[in-house]
Structure 1
Amino acid sequence: MAGSIRSDLWCMAFVRRHNDLGHMCVVARKGDPIAGQVFIEVDHLDGTRSLYTPAPVVSRGEGAGLVFQSRFSHVEPETVRQRIAREADFDPDLWVLSIDLREDDLGIDVIKDPGKQ
């Protein structure tokens, strides 16, 4: 994980902030507490989901903290589940945060990705 904050602390702060805002947010999968990658799965409560994954290091800029890219936006839930399962098989240190949120603004830094679905 880029930046100086531990993965577990970042995840707990994200979950707490969203629950305080009235959004149902949970840790769906715990990863490495120090340097696990963080995926955020968004259930839009309309039958679609989005997935945010860490942005490539080259697109973050030097000294940037945790920055995400939109991997999938408003797709079938199975598409997101399959992507998370493949990543978890490859990276057992992966964190997955799951949030119910109708809108798209998670309050995180997201890069523009022209290749997103």
Structure 2
Amino acid sequence: MSLLRSDLWCGVFVRRHNDLGHMCVVSRRGDSIAGQVFIEVDHLDGTLSLYTPAPIASRENNAAGLVFQCRFHHAEPQKVRERIAREAEFDPDLWVLSLDLRGDDLGVDLVK
């Protein structure tokens, strides 16, 4: 099964979280067809978490959609932003979604 286009997936993610009352924006727009998606979560307590695409080898066999892994959990904001900047230098097609969320439930599939 093929994956959704990055621009459509990001648009749905942003819309869903904004409808739930969370502030969510596209911080960096990447390739509309196949850009990788990073999710930066501001926990509103001075910390950020960063979710990145999970390696294909760690996904379940039936996972057809985007699957994420938590790269940084409640880390210093500078550390997360430096990682995003390094990734953007390497992959200019990268998408970054910024979400304000007090909890940890993004509503996406995470690797175990």
1:14 aligns to 2:13 (yes or no): yes
Report % sequence identity: 76
Structure-1 separation of matches of 2:55 and 2:79: 21
Report how many aligned residue pairs link the two structures: 111
Would you say 1:48 and 2:47 are equivalent positions?
yes
Q: Distance in 2 between matches of 1:56 and 1:66?
A: 11
Is the CA contact 1:32–1:95 (under 8 Å) kept in the aligned structure 2? Answer: yes
For 1:96, give the aligned amino acid: V
- TM-score if structure 1 supplies the norm length? 0.92
Distance apart, 1:63 and its partner CA: 4.4
Say yes or no: does 1:59 pair with 2:65. no
Q: Structure 2: how far apart are the matches of 1:3 and 1:100?
A: 30
Structure 2 residue aligned with 1:24: 23
Contact conserved, 1:31 with 1:92, CA < 8 A, in 2?
Answer: yes
Structure 1 consecutive aligned stretches of length 4 or more whose deviation exceeds 3 Å: none
| 1:34 and 2:59 are equivalent in the alignment | no
Q: CA deviation at 1:60?
A: 1.1
Which residue of the partner structure matches residue 108 of structure 1?
A: 108
Unpaired segments of 5 or more residues in structure 2?
A: none
Q: How far does the alpha carbon of each residue in 1:3-36 deviate from its partner, in whole angstroms, 9 at most, with x for none?
A: 4200000000000000000000000000000000
